[in-house]
């Protein structure tokens, strides 16, 4: 089995940009975020493309970690190994590929952003 390796979109010509949560919710109606989500937006203006990577933010990780004993009781000893793997993926989201990524056409959105890298 091939091992997953994260490559930053900046290696492919994208630029990381800062987009406010308000702008995100205004333009990306079908790509929901909540209090436990964080996101990174990358754009490639020369190819009219954008990319959104969505992660669990630190608040979400803390809440799920505090609920670990309850989850352990529900899954029992049989499911403990799977639960341990899920927590490992949550703590190493980029390394393990445990995040969602969406591409979009930049010209369809009047997105206000600030380039950070």
Is 20 a member of any domain?
Answer: yes
pLDDT over threshold 90, residue 77: no
High-pLDDT (> 90) share of the chain, %: 41
Residue 88 lies in a domain: yes
Q: What is the rounded CA–CA span in Å between residue 56 and residue 35?
A: 9
Looking at every residue in the chain, the average pLDDT score rounds to 88
4 in a domain, yes or no? Answer: no
Taking each helix axis from N to C end, the angle separating 68-75 and 58-66, rounded to the nearest 10 degrees, works out to: 50
Distance CA 105, CA 117 (A): 20
Q: What mean pLDDT comes out for the span 96-110?
A: 87
Residue 54 lies in a domain: yes
Max CA distance (Å), the chain:
52
Query: What pTM value is reported for the model?
Result: 0.82
CA-nearest of 117, 109, 115, 106 to 19 is 115
Task: Provide the residue range defining the domain that includes 33.
Answer: 9-115
pLDDT tens sequence across 2-41: 688 899 999 999 999 999 898 888 888 888 889 999 999 9
- Work out the percent of the chain whose per-residue pLDDT is above 70: 97
- Whether 117 contacts 15, CB under 8 Å: yes
pLDDT at 63 (0 to 100): 94
Q: Is residue 90 part of a domain?
A: yes
Assess if residue 81 is contained within a domain: yes
Residue 59 lies in a domain: yes
What pLDDT is attached to residue 117? 62
In a domain, 2, yes or no: no
Question: Which residue in 112, 98, 15, 108 sits closest to 54, CA to CA?
Answer: 98
Phi, psi of 67 (to 5 degrees): -85, 0
Question: What's the total number of domains in the chain?
Answer: 1
Q: For 33-63, what is each residue's pLDDT tens digit?
A: 899 999 999 999 888 899 999 999 999 999 9
């Amino acid at each position: 089995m091939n091992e997953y390796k994260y490559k930053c979109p900046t290696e492919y010509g994208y630029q990381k940009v800062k987009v406010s949560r308000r702008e995100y919710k205004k333009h990306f109606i079908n790509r929901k975020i909540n209090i436990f989500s964080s996101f990174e937006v990358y754009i490639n203006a020369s190819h009219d493309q954008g990319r959104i990577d969505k992660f669990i933010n630190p608040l979400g990780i803390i809440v799920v970690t505090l609920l670990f004993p309850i989850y352990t009781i529900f899954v029992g000893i049989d499911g403990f190994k799977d639960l341990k793997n899920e927590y490992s993926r949550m703590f190493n989201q980029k390394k393990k590929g445990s995040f969602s990524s969406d591409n979009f056409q930049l010209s369809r959105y009047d997105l206000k952003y600030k380039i950070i890298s």
